[in-house]
Chains A and B, each alone.
Chain A
């Protein structure tokens, strides 16, 4: 047993606090917008200047001039606002994101992570990731614990070019919830049916339970 991607999203959402401004990266983190927030008032910020967006539109109801960072047509919640890119990133650099949630290829025990360039690639895709990673109050990472070949994505140090140094707060994988501690990761939660031994065997650095 382990967490599905939706369960990973739900586990991270449990960490959100009432009133937070949340930025969601493309890929896996977009699922977070579909998780019920309960009583908490959460404001979603998209890097393209949309503040206060909600669910993905039902087919046929889209405004094609309104997208989130992943290019999905979304609705605006009451109280939403729209600004240009410089203001949107001023909010980011100005420290007004309580958390940014991003996917990654690798995350390291020293709090570095890598999500913009693959090994040997000439090009890459940074988007807003470096701005968000450098300046959000918290950086949450969502990723599969292992690559398709079974190698650990949780490492002592990143092997790929990093997106930002020493910024990661929390990491959710299909196996559990972790916090970088310098030389290893603290285990904060285990997915149901997963043992500590299994996590340790799947991870290329110490897990501190």
Chain B
């Protein structure tokens, strides 16, 4: 019988995250974002974190738990993201003030390179060459190489201590399924992490309830599962579901 990976609550699932940890946070424009785990990490208060995600969070109301919240909490030393400013120049991110004052370091990485660096870490590939960002200021002073007549930039794998992700469905062994664009970075972050923590939207199923052919991310790389509390109105909304 495989071990049941279900945890009682979000706080228990993040209780051992130490200062200085590297944390990958999934999600893209909402879907797949582990809001409850981010909120639990804010309560936990671990400091000097490196946070990897597509963005540092939104500029819009209602404010959802995001990296910006951890930054305001004084918990973040560095972010690695494909956006370190808002998509619209007129939007100001909570993160920006701390970045511009030098309190938080940031590494900006093209989105496909970010995904591939995570994939490489999970796949045991230490580095790879990509055509992305060649000829831009991101490539200045870095190693490039010409292969078959085209210039490529060397990029290194991005290993992770803890991945925070969100899935639609899980069985007790950690096999996951995502719904629609909830998938995004989440399978890659699970593969890249030593410990993967998942908030799950539906009741956690017994082992075997997800057919082996239908698994998106294998339980082998998933360590902790927490059921997202059901929304009171039976309707999925970003605002209502965040556990307090």
Q: Are B31 and A67 in contact (CB under 8 A)?
A: yes
Contact with B along A63-92 (1 / 0, CB 8 A): 111110111000010000011111011001
The answer to whether the Cβ of B185 comes within 8 Å of any Cβ in the partner chain is yes
> Which residue of the partner chain, among B30, B84, B86, B100, contacts A64 with CB atoms under 8 Å?
B30
> Which residue of the partner chain, among B85, B115, B132, B184, contacts A123 with CB atoms under 8 Å?
B85
Q: Are A131 and B112 in contact (CB under 8 A)?
A: yes
Q: Are A164 and B181 in contact (CB under 8 A)?
A: no
- Segment 107-147 of A: residues with Cβ below 8 Å from B: 117-118, 121-131, 134-135
A65 contacts across to B, CB distance below 8 A? 31-32, 168, 179-182, 236
**Max chain B Cβ within 10 angstroms of own Cβ: one of A84, A118, A127:** A84
Chain B, Cβ-Cβ closest to A162: B136
Query: Distance (Å) between the CB of A63 and the closest chain B CB?
Result: 6
Q: Are A93 and B183 in contact (CB under 8 A)?
A: no
Chain A residues touching B, majority SS? loop
A86 contacts across to B, CB distance below 8 A? 115-116, 118-119, 188
Contact with B along A28-56 (1 / 0, CB 8 A): 00000000000000000011111000000
- Segment 186-203 of A: residues with Cβ below 8 Å from B: none
The answer to whether the Cβ of B111 comes within 8 Å of any Cβ in the partner chain is yes
A63 contacts across to B, CB distance below 8 A? 179-180
> Which residue of the partner chain, among B89, B111, B132, B184, contacts A134 with CB atoms under 8 Å?
B132
In the complex the two chains form, what is the Cα distance from A86 to B28 in whole Å?
Answer: 13
In the complex the two chains form, what is the Cα distance from A128 to B85 in whole Å?
Answer: 14
- Segment 136-182 of B: residues with Cβ below 8 Å from A: 136-138, 168, 179-182
Q: How many contacts between A and B, using CB within 8 angstroms? A: 150
Q: Are A123 and B106 in contact (CB under 8 A)?
A: yes
Q: Are B183 and A83 in contact (CB under 8 A)?
A: yes
The answer to whether the Cβ of A163 comes within 8 Å of any Cβ in the partner chain is yes
The answer to whether the Cβ of B87 comes within 8 Å of any Cβ in the partner chain is yes
The answer to whether the Cβ of A181 comes within 8 Å of any Cβ in the partner chain is no
A66 contacts across to B, CB distance below 8 A? 31, 180-181
> Which residue of the partner chain, among B31, B113, B179, contacts A131 with CB atoms under 8 Å?
B113
The answer to whether the Cβ of A204 comes within 8 Å of any Cβ in the partner chain is no
Contact with B along A172-192 (1 / 0, CB 8 A): 000000000000000000000
In the complex the two chains form, what is the Cα distance from A48 to B135 in whole Å?
Answer: 25
* Total count of chain A residues near the partner, CB < 8 A: 46
B238 contacts across to A, CB distance below 8 A? 64
Q: Are B180 and A126 in contact (CB under 8 A)?
A: no
- Segment 6-41 of B: residues with Cβ below 8 Å from A: 28-32
Query: Distance (Å) between the CB of A199 and the closest chain B CB?
Result: 26
The answer to whether the Cβ of B134 comes within 8 Å of any Cβ in the partner chain is yes
> Which residue of the partner chain, among A89, A121, A125, A166, contacts B83 with CB atoms under 8 Å?
A125
Q: Are B185 and A84 in contact (CB under 8 A)?
A: yes
Q: Are B112 and A89 in contact (CB under 8 A)?
A: yes
In the complex the two chains form, what is the Cα distance from A121 to B50 in whole Å?
Answer: 22
Q: Are A48 and B237 in contact (CB under 8 A)?
A: no
Q: Are B132 and A135 in contact (CB under 8 A)?
A: yes
Q: Are B29 and A67 in contact (CB under 8 A)?
A: yes
The answer to whether the Cβ of B206 comes within 8 Å of any Cβ in the partner chain is no
6 other contacts beyond A64-B30, A84-B188, A85-B28, with CB at 8 A cut-off? A66-B180, A69-B29, A82-B183, A123-B108, A135-B132, A165-B136
Nearest 7 pairs of A and B residues by beta carbon: A89-B112, A131-B112, A123-B84, A71-B29, A165-B135, A123-B85, A85-B115
